Amino acid sequence: MTTDAQPPQLSHLDDQGRARMVDVVHKKETSRTAVAAGEFLTTAEVIALVRADDMPKADVLATARIAGISAAKRTSELIPLCHQLALSSVKISFGFTESSITVEATARTTGRTGVEMEALTAVAVAGLTLHDMVKAVDPGATMNGVRLLTKDGGKHGHWQRDDAEVSPEAAAAPIFESSRSAAVLVASTGGANGTRPDTTGPTIASWLTDRGFAVRGPLVYADAEIAAGLQDALLGEPSLIVSTGGTGVSPTDATPEATAALLDIDMPGIADAIRTRGTSATPHAVLSRGVSGLIGRTLIVNLPGSPGGVKDGLSVLDPLLDHVLAQIAGGGPHDE
């Protein structure tokens, strides 16, 4: 039997098998996004030191983040056949398990070719920088599973990695490796610009990790970009998103509006309980406009941006979280 089907062709080879840069002049300019991830495996001792900002070198995560962003901007210099791209955004976030640091990079541009290589390069170089920063304590650390998670834009539109496509070696520990997955989102213009330290996101991430969650973030976005931050936090469909900041009445506070626009089910009781708990410390707690509810099967809770407000919010969530997540997943006493 004969077939007219042609075998797959490698885009960077010409018809004589020679390496070439692909001519993209006839491609349409579209908005393009790519998300890549990897995992830096190390020791529990290193994880504790990094989280406490107590390594012999400088701020480990800040240094790795800057290195990854710089690498994404120079991808065409590092990968010979890549096109030069005018990147509109590169964001790098970190999460923790007991013995690893997850690295995720999101790259965006508007152009004629995708940003997959920029996202992948950012993850790889951020991981190598982590190794450089911790090698005095753990020279045996490894960077594993650097891979593309999603890409959007161009002729083929949306692509998302199927778990079945990931080898056991490449996915030693995915960003969300269990049903207890969470993302931490911070609304802070100063934090996003690097002019103000994030005093609440790490507290929430640590609290969630201590309760067995695989945590992504903190993802830090300017107040005006919090809607994009929510879309970022929803990647991978975590079971929980906890946001902090942007819940007041200043002109830039927009977290409640951005969250409410996405809610499928409103759960006002959680937000009301957080406000009530806060009033025991300060009457200003009633000014918080945070909301809570479900986006699909993801529970999202807005917390205030102050350390005290976060403490009060987490104390409200502590006795509720296991029960409500079990209900959302279809389990718990109602199904017994």
Question: Which positions are annotated as active-site residues?
Answer: 132
118 labeled part of a ligand binding site? yes
* CA angle centred on 157, ends 151 and 161, rounded to 5°: 40
Residue with tokens 């304590």: 137
- By DSSP bridging, strand 240-244 and strand 214-221 are unpaired
63 closest CA partner among 105, 126, 144: 126
81 labeled part of a ligand binding site? yes
CB 125 within 8 A of CB 71: yes
1 labeled part of a ligand binding site? no
How are strands ordered across the β-sheet holding 292-295?
214-221, 181-187, 240-244, 298-303, 292-295, 265-266
Rounded Cα–Cα distance for residues 201 and 214 (Å): 15
Rounded Cα–Cα distance for residues 230 and 219 (Å): 9
82 labeled part of a ligand binding site? yes
Q: Which two tokens stand for residue 80?
A: 């010979």
212: left (phi over 0), alpha (psi -120 to 50) or beta: left
Rounded Cα–Cα distance for residues 57 and 7 (Å): 51
299 labeled part of a ligand binding site? no
Question: Annotated binding site for substrate, which residues?
Answer: 81-83, 117-118
